[in-house]
Structure 1
Amino acid sequence: MEALSFEEAFAKLEATVAALKDGQVSLEQALSSYQEGVTLVQYCNELLQKAELTVQQLQVDSEGTLSLQSLDL
């Protein structure tokens, strides 16, 4: 898959879902759109997991020492 931003991939996924909901496509096109949608979902999930790994929280302990911790969302 080409390098898309999360927003671009999500917009393509929304368009794919809308086309499938419309029901005005052939079975062959619906299957193709479904497969593209699955690929887009996987791609978006990968981007979200990577983003989650980079989100950290700066904490100060009782002695004033700074440390980075994973941010629990």
Structure 2
Amino acid sequence: MSKISKITNISTLSFEEALEQLEKIVNNLEGGDVSLDESITFYEQGELLKKHCAKLLQAAEDKVEKIRLGVDGSIKGTEPLIKS
């Protein structure tokens, strides 16, 4: 089982890197061969990674554009999914 090291700056991770670290944490916790102290540390770090992933997903959703269709069904352009 691959052990993970404590990440000092989660905010610099890409979504993919954070998700990979989160998967490693889950695997370690599911394996059941870590001490209680390690489990708590992994859980805390997992929560931070989960929040970071959620933040990155929200930022990506905010960039998604909705396609505007004309009356005849043709594409007339795009507009932001969320209007400011």
TM-score range, shorter chain: 0.7 to 0.9
Distance 1:66 1:37 in 2: 40
Unaligned runs of 5+ in 2: 1-9
Cα deviation code 1:23-42 (max 9, x no counterpart): 10110000000000000000
Query: Structure 1 stretches of 5 or more lacking a match?
Result: none
Q: Does 1:10 align with 2:19?
A: yes
For the 8 Å contact 1:59–1:69, the answer to whether it is kept is no
Task: Could you list the structure 1 runs, at least 4 aligned residues long, displaced by more than 6 angstroms after superposition.
Answer: none
Q: 1:2 to 1:67 in 2, by over 3 A?
A: closer
Q: What's the Cα RMSD here?
A: 2.1
SS of 1:47's equivalent in the other structure is helix
1:66 counterpart = 2:61: no
Question: Which of 42, 64, 82 is equivalent to 1:33?
Answer: 42
Q: Does 1:47 align with 2:33?
A: no
SS in 1 for 2:33: coil
| Aligned equivalents of 2:38, 2:23: Cα separation in 1 | 16
How many residue pairs get aligned? The number is 71
Q: Is the 8 A contact 1:6 1:44 kept in 2?
A: yes
